[in-house]
């Protein structure tokens, strides 16, 4: 197996006239916590469904555990090693919590009874409770229990904290980090909650209109990206051409705010060479990086 547990290359998928994936290149390193970000309709769920064999790609390639994902039946072995939480959090309405745990368990040879018991108690799930009587938050917790207890090498979580209250979100995030640390499992999760992603992810990919627009280590990204605030003494005299690495420039009176995606030192040097300017550097949040890229795409 390569260093990547999930790898796609030029992956394309269309639904009638809509292109959901347009040459997606995705690489999820083994053992990472990968935050998969994008607007609604960006192609996150389509990517996840393709990796699970629920959808067939039109062109390009996808591999999970180094095994090519081609169709539903060839991915049975892949799914045995994956824990999955679906976006809609729907489970069998005629089963109780206890019944669905008992039902899911035999499909996974690495099933962890200890984890199932632990999360049953931690999430305060009623074993005899019927699934339709559970709130959306409780159903999310139950799906997480069913995914985590599989003892999977890869957890694919589509909006895992959707419907959870802040306390539960805190618990879930802590557990995900703990699972990644203790079992070495890779966690690939999509979320709209950028603060959550920033807290636990070490790798981030931003998808927009079916293409990966930014991907890499979150620490590297945050080190490379900087917000530069240039204040001109009198009137704004911008250079004819800024140095490479500017993602966006906004002017507000005598103040110019620059988002540098890389090469911040050279940009600062250039700004400071303009007489009467002062330059300040600020760290950027993942939210700023996300919004900037999505807007400019």
Partner 1 sequence: MLWYKGWLETRFRLLFALGCTGLVLFQLHLIPPDGKSKIFGILENLTPIILLMICAMLSGAGIVTQAPFQAKKGLQASTIFTLSLPVSRLRLLAVRAGLGWLEAAGAIGALCCAMWLISPALRMMTTPVEMLEYAGTLIACASAIYFLSVLLATFLDDVWRIWGTMIGVAAFWWISSHTPLPAFTNIFRAMGKSSPLIAHTTPWNAIAFSVALSAILLFAALRVVQAREY
Residues that bind partner 1 (CB under 8 A): 49, 52, 54-56, 71-73, 76-77, 79-80, 82, 84, 86, 88, 90-95, 99, 102-104, 106-108, 143
Rounded CA-CA distance 297/292 in Å is 9
The residue with tokens 């790798």 is 203
51 vs 264, beta carbon nearer partner 1:
51
- Between strands 4-15 and 33-38, the pairing is unpaired
Q: How far is the CB of 35 from partner 1 (least distance, A)?
A: 21
52 vs 221, beta carbon nearer partner 1:
52
Q: How far is the CB of 198 from partner 1 (least distance, A)?
A: 28
52 vs 258, beta carbon nearer partner 1:
52
- Cα–Cα distances (Å) from 116 to 77, 100, 111, 149, in that order, read 22, 11, 9, 5
Rounded CA-CA distance 279/26 in Å is 36
| Terminal Cα-to-Cα distance of the chain (whole angstroms) | 33
CB 267 within 8 A of CB 258: yes
Contacts of 13 (CB under 8 A, 6+ apart): 19, 20, 21, 43, 46, 50, 55, 56, 57, 58, 210
Read off the tokens for 45. 């769920």
56 vs 295, beta carbon nearer partner 1:
56
Q: How far is the CB of 100 from partner 1 (least distance, A)?
A: 9
Give the helix/strand (H/E) hosting 98.
helix 97-104
81 vs 227, beta carbon nearer partner 1:
81
Q: How far is the CB of 177 from partner 1 (least distance, A)?
A: 23
Q: How far is the CB of 229 from partner 1 (least distance, A)?
A: 47
Give the helix/strand (H/E) hosting 105.
none
Read off the tokens for 164. 């959870």
46 vs 161, beta carbon nearer partner 1:
46
CB 19 within 8 A of CB 3: no
How many CA atoms lie less than 13 Å away from 27 in the CB half-sphere? Answer: 9
Q: How far is the CB of 131 from partner 1 (least distance, A)?
A: 9
The β-bridge partners of 186 are: 154
Q: How far is the CB of 90 from partner 1 (least distance, A)?
A: 4
Q: How far is the CB of 84 from partner 1 (least distance, A)?
A: 4
61 vs 278, beta carbon nearer partner 1:
61
27 vs 49, beta carbon nearer partner 1:
49
Rounded CA-CA distance 57/130 in Å is 37
């Amino acid at each position: 197996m390569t260093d990547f547990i999930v790898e796609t290359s030029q992956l394309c998928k269309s639904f009638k006239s809509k292109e959901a994936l347009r040459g997606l290149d995705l690489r999820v390193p083994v053992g990472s916590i990968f935050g998969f970000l994008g607007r609604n309709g960006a192609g996150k769920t389509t990517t996840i469904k393709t990796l699970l064999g629920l959808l067939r790609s039109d062109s390009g390639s996808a591999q999970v555990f180094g095994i090519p994902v081609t169709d539903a039946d060839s991915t049975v072995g892949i799914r045995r090693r994956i824990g999955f939480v679906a976006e809609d959090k729907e489970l069998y309405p005629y089963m109780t919590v206890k019944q669905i745990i008992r039902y899911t368990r035999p499909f996974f040879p690495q099933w962890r009874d200890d984890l199932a018991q632990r999360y049953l108690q931690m999430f305060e799930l009623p074993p005899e409770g019927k699934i339709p009587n559970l709130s959306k938050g409780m159903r999310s917790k139950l799906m997480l229990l069913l995914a985590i207890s599989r003892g999977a090498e890869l957890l694919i979580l589509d909006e895992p904290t959707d419907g959870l209250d802040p306390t539960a979100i805190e618990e879930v995030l802590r557990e995900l980090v703990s699972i990644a640390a203790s079992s070495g499992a890779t966690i690939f999760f999509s979320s709209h909650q950028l603060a959550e992603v920033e807290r636990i992810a070490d790798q981030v990919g931003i998808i927009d209109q079916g293409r990966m627009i930014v991907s890499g280590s979150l620490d590297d990204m945050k080190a490379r990206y900087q917000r530069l605030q240039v204040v001109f003494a009198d009137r704004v005299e911008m250079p004819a051409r800024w140095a490479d690495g500017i993602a966006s420039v906004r002017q507000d009176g005598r103040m110019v705010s620059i988002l540098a995606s890389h090469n911040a030192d050279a940009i600062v040097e250039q700004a400071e060479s303009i007489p009467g300017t002062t330059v300040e550097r600020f760290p950027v949040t993942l939210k700023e990086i996300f919004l900037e890229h999505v807007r400019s795409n």
